[in-house]
Amino acid sequence: MYCNYCGKVIPDDANLCAYCGKRVAGVVARKRLVRPRVGRKAAGVCLGFAEYFDLDVTLVRIVWAVCSLFGLFGVVAYFAAWIVMPEEPLMLSAPASAPDQAVKTS
């Protein structure tokens, strides 16, 4: 493989060019903080935070409930996150193609 910036030959599995230091591998998609559509209890805020930070959703729900019980901060933060966090994009399946039917002409 060749570096797109300096033109030197680099290994195929390289992420950075050893000569010029530029990133040559594809950019890895970042995780987004979204409210999932599947598996949520109320608005999906706790599940969204659990998936984003790679935590157990039960732990996040318990911590959020304790914060809500000991002060108004947890409730206000939940509603603020509900408003601010976008919903996960709707995944639509591709339309099933109909089998080719011969058009009969008369």
How confident is the chain (106 residues) per 10-residue block, as mean pLDDT?
Answer: 82 82 68 87 91 92 92 89 90 69 57
Q: Would residue 105 count as lying in a domain?
A: no
Q: Would residue 104 count as lying in a domain?
A: no
Could you tell me the two tokens for 14?
A: 């390289």
Q: Which amino acid is at 71?
A: G
Residue 69 pLDDT: 92
Residue 40 pLDDT: 84
Could you tell me the two tokens for 87?
A: 């919903």
CA distance linking residue 11 with residue 64, whole number of Å: 47
Q: Would residue 59 count as lying in a domain?
A: yes
Residue 78 pLDDT: 92
Residue 19 pLDDT: 85
For the chain, how many structural domains are there in total?
Answer: 2
63 shares its domain with 42: yes
- Spatial CA neighbour of 24 closest among 38, 8, 39, 35: 8
70 shares its domain with 84: yes
83 shares its domain with 47: yes
5 shares its domain with 44: no
CA distance linking residue 33 with residue 84, whole number of Å: 10
Residue 65 pLDDT: 93
21 shares its domain with 39: no
